[in-house]
Structures are given as structure tokens and as C-alpha cells.
Amino acid sequence: MTNPIYLDYQATTPVDKRVLDTMLPYFTDAYGNAASRNHAFGWVAEEAVDTARAQIASLINASEKEVVFTSGSTEAINLAMKGVGEMYGSKGKHIITCLAEHKAVLDTAKHMEKLGFEITYLQPDKNGAVSAESVRDAIREDTILVAIMWANNEVGTINPIREIGAVCREKGVLFFSDSTQAVGKIPVDVEADNVDMICFSGHKVYGPKGVGALYVRRRKPRVRLVAQMDGGGHERGMRSGTLNVPGIVGLGKACAVAEADLEKDMAHSNALRERFEKKIFDSLDYVFINGDEHNRLPGCSNLSFAYVEGESLIMGFKDLAVSSGSACTSASLEPSHVLQAMDVGDELAHSSIRFGFGRMTTEAHVDFAADQVITAVKKLRELSPLYEMVQEGIDLSTIAWTGH
């Protein structure tokens, strides 16, 4: 076992060896530009891109022509939201999204607010899910787009996409879902699931970084987008720029592997998470699962360890790569916007850690991690006056805190 142990699969994933091997020739021998029509180098590259497009379409039950390659999910999100806004803005300027979305969606929405769009930010329930009813209630005459993520990247909660899509269909509103955490991890079927646009990213599905795609429905309804990148008219005019052929080949292969191994991968990640959580719950009290315990991404375990600070806990780990629920990027330690939107409370939000398991995770990794966590939590709680008070049976909610 080589250290540190990687348990951050929602942040990114290693490239699968099968994916890398498929990509390599396209850096060296087959380096043509897929848009070069006059020679074999171009034809070979174009054929490789066509194969990747078919592999991707197959995984999500789309047609090849509905796949638009981008540099990743962030770009695909920008294209979907701004592209729809610009195309349909004369019909209406209202967009519905959710407070628990990824920053790529929230910041795009913010940008569009400055351009005159009105955004409704739905609050998720305490598990982080958005109901189809709340979407229905928010839809207005001038609503042109609903943007609700498929699965949450921090807590793993899976939204009722098919139901939300049905409401959007009924109301004649386009539905975009950020499915970056879902594609290749759980079944995604653009027909059965009633979505008009979805996005995904190579590096979240054991493929390379810097490549992704936007699925854009071509019929019933046909979605039209205004390109956000102007140039040579690649990708049927929706996204100009020379195609990243090795990256696209990698994304395609990653999707083919994911399709073939989906059941196996899901069972593997599920089993590891169960093993991990059992060990934790057997040894520690006051641990809470953030997200929908019964409807989560297989490899995601977001836990709050009461009376312990998430950042201190991570510092107490030796050789564990995980993420905390508070992003200390700014001067103030703000708890995660997702946990805040779920109303878990500041204390628990500050004590949360996300553990992510995936294809390359082993039982030995999980056992090592669980031991580390249990030791570190016990150690920190020994130093915690709050935990001591709770042990003595004092009800903390009755104490008036000062200056917290």
C-alpha cells in the first residue's frame, strides 16, 4: 500500500490504465487534427473522435450528434446555461436552480443575473434533495430553464431527475442537469430520465482532466444554443476550437469501461462505503451522515463528527487525502454552501468530512482510513470540553453561549 491513501473520488479520479493505453497513440503517431479533411492524419483523428462520440452516446442513451465536446463540465455548464439564456431570452428571463449546486452552476447563474436574468434558488431538503413539486411551484410563464444537478458532489444525494424532467416537459421548460457526479457512476438515460441537456467530465470517470461533454437534445424538444466560443464552427457550431483528440479518445474509452463495469463498480464502491461506515459507527458516537443515507452516490460518505473541527481532524490524519466541509479558501472559515443550504447547522457543517471511494480503492485502504479517523476523533474529543460535558449528561442546547 502506498501512502497517502486517496479517498477524494468526488474531487477527481485516477486515469484507468485501459483509458491511458487507448489515449497514448493519439499523442504520438496519430496526432492529426480531426478537422483536417485532406489527409490520413485528419481522417484517423476524426474516426477516433467518432468512436468516442459513439461510446459516450451509448453510455447515456443519446445519439452521436447530441454530444458536444468541451474542456470539462464547467465549460459545458456555461454553454448550457448562457447558451439557452441567449437563445431564448426574448421568450423569458427566469431560470430555476438550487442552492446546493456546484459553484460552476451558481456562479454562472450569478453572472446571468447581472445580464438581466432572474434566478430562483430552490432550497434543498435536509438531505440535500430537490423535489419535483418544489420545481413545479417555482415555474412561471417566463421560465426558460431549470438547472438541477443529478447527484451532489459534496454529500452524494441523488435528485429525482426523472420526476423533475417530467414536470419540465409538462410545462414546456428546458431541463439541464449537471450530471458530472452521476455519469458512469449510476445509470443515466437521457430518454427515460427526461433531460434536455446534461454535462460530464473526463476526470470524474477515470478519464483525463480538461475534457468533457455537453449532451444537447436534438428532438422532442430540439434544444438550440447560442455558442459561447466563436471560431471555426466545430461541434456543429456550438463549440469552436480544435478538438482535444487524445482527451476525447480517453473520455470515450472511460465511458465504454464505465458502461461495461457499471454494476461491478457500483457494488464495489457501495461495499467499501458500508465497510467504512460500519467501522466508524461501531467505534464512535455522535457521528452523522450528511446527505440521503439511502439515496446516495455509491462511493460518497460525508460524515460530521460532532465536537470536532473538520480542519483539525484532517490535520490529525496521517496519509489520508480527503476533503472537509468547510472551504477555508477565504479569510473567514465559511462552512460549505451545500451543508448550509441543507440547514445542518454551523457546528456540524464545520465538523464534516467527505470520504470518496472508487474503482481503485481497496478494503485495506478503507481499514487504514477508518483506523486513522477513529484515532484522530477520539484524541480530539479528549481535548474537547463540549464532548466532556455531553458525556456528563449536560444538555448543551440549554447553555447560553457567548461570543460564538
Binding residues: 153, 181, 201-203, 242, 328
CB-based contact 144:37 (threshold 8 Å): no
Residues in Cβ contact with 79 at an 8 Å cutoff, skipping those fewer than 6 apart = 68, 70, 214, 225, 227, 228, 229, 238, 239
Q: Does 325 bind ligand PLP (CB under 6 A)?
A: no
CB-based contact 297:151 (threshold 8 Å): yes
Q: Does 73 bind ligand PLP (CB under 6 A)?
A: yes
Which member of 62, 66, 72, 365 binds ligand PLP (CB under 6 A)? 72
Q: Does 108 bind ligand PLP (CB under 6 A)?
A: no
Which residue, 73 or 352, is less far from ligand PLP as judged by CB?
73
Quickly list DSSP for 85-141.
Answer: HHHHTTT--EEEEETTS-HHHHHHHHHHHHTT-EEEEEPP-TTS---HHHHHHH--T
Q: Does 149 bind ligand PLP (CB under 6 A)?
A: yes
Is 328 designated active site? yes
Element (H, E) at 17: helix 17-23
Which residue, 102 or 296, is less far from ligand PLP as judged by CB?
102
Instruction: Please tell me what DSSP assigns to residue 151.
Output: B
CB-based contact 354:38 (threshold 8 Å): no
Q: Give the residue nearest to ligand PLP (CB).
A: 72
For residue 336, give the amino acid letter: S
CA distance 61 to 130: 24
Which residue, 48 or 100, is less far from ligand PLP as judged by CB?
100
Q: Does 153 bind ligand PLP (CB under 6 A)?
A: yes
Which residue, 7 or 377, is less far from ligand PLP as judged by CB?
7
Minimum distance, C-beta of residue 188 to ligand PLP, in the bound complex (Å): 13
Q: Does 181 bind ligand PLP (CB under 6 A)?
A: yes
Which member of 53, 94, 204, 253 binds ligand PLP (CB under 6 A)? 204
Instruction: Kindly report the three-state secondary structure assignment for every residue of 233-259.
Output: CCHHHCCCCCCCHHHHHHHHHHHHHHH
Which stretch in 17-25, 67-75, 316-324, 353-361 sits in contact with ligand PLP by CB under 6 A?
Answer: 67-75
The site for ligand PLP (CB under 6 A) is made up of: 72-74, 102, 104, 149, 153, 178, 180-181, 201, 204, 212
Q: Residues with catalytic annotation?
A: 328
